[in-house]
Structure 1
């Protein structure tokens, strides 16, 4: 006999409601908040030498930080009903997008630090 679960056995397994979805949502909200604070600190450094570039950074980065928070809440609302219906959770597009954005912002900050 093989040691793998069949689809029927997984469908009958009890659902563990846990707090995973809530913890993940709080982590995403902290990520959005830290992104907003990081962008404000970066803007403060840039504002000393180039105020127009600093204003552009604020106008570009703060809406992205708010968007991360909004998407986290939307994802929480969508995912919180899924375990009862035995559907898979959302894909990894939000984490991948935020990771890519963080790398880009870090690269821009590093270029700024090296060039100035």
Structure 2
């Protein structure tokens, strides 16, 4: 006997959390274009736009993951597997790299 899916809004809350996190990362990348020109010169624009592009890519992948989770919830067979955690790892690596670069900047270049 399989239990029915909880009719709560957990997938929607998770999707909104992804959206907020990736929006914050994109804004952080845009702010880096304002802060880093003194240190990196023209490369700061490359890093900023690259960060926005990665945040956009992760947002598209998060939308796809949300659709896959919804499909698993609609299909209540026990053989249905939830999506893997590769997207979570990518987000953690991107966020950790941004935090490490921010810390490095704060330690080395603040007067």
Q: TM-score range, shorter-chain basis?
A: 0.7 to 0.9
Pairing partner for 1:114 from 87, 99, 107: 107
Report matched runs for 1:31-70 at 5 Å.
Answer: 31-70=21-60
Q: Is there any run of 5+ residues in structure 1 with no aligned partner, and where?
A: 1-8
Aligned residues: 106
Report Cα offsets for 1:82-115 as digits up to 9, x if no partner: 1121223212221121112111111111112222
Give TM-score, length-normalised by structure 2. Answer: 0.84
Query: Match for residue 4 of structure 1?
Result: none
Report Cα offsets for 1:18-75 as digits up to 9, x if no partner: 2111111111111110000011112211124543121111232111110121111111
Structure 1 segments of 4+ aligned residues over 4 angstroms from their partners: none
Does 1:94 pair with 2:87? yes
Whole-Å separation in 1 of the counterparts to 2:14 and 2:54: 19
The alignment partner of 1:16 has SS state of coil
Q: Are 1:28 and 1:68, in contact at CA under 8 Å, matched by a contact in 2? A: no
Does 1:85 pair with 2:75? yes
Q: Are 1:36 and 1:65, in contact at CA under 8 Å, matched by a contact in 2? A: yes
Pairing partner for 1:103 from 87, 92, 96: 96
Whole-Å separation in 2 of the counterparts to 1:106 and 1:63: 17
Whichever of the two has the greater Rg, that structure is 1
The alpha carbon displacement at 1:79 in A equals 1.2
The alignment partner of 1:81 has SS state of helix
The alignment partner of 1:15 has SS state of coil
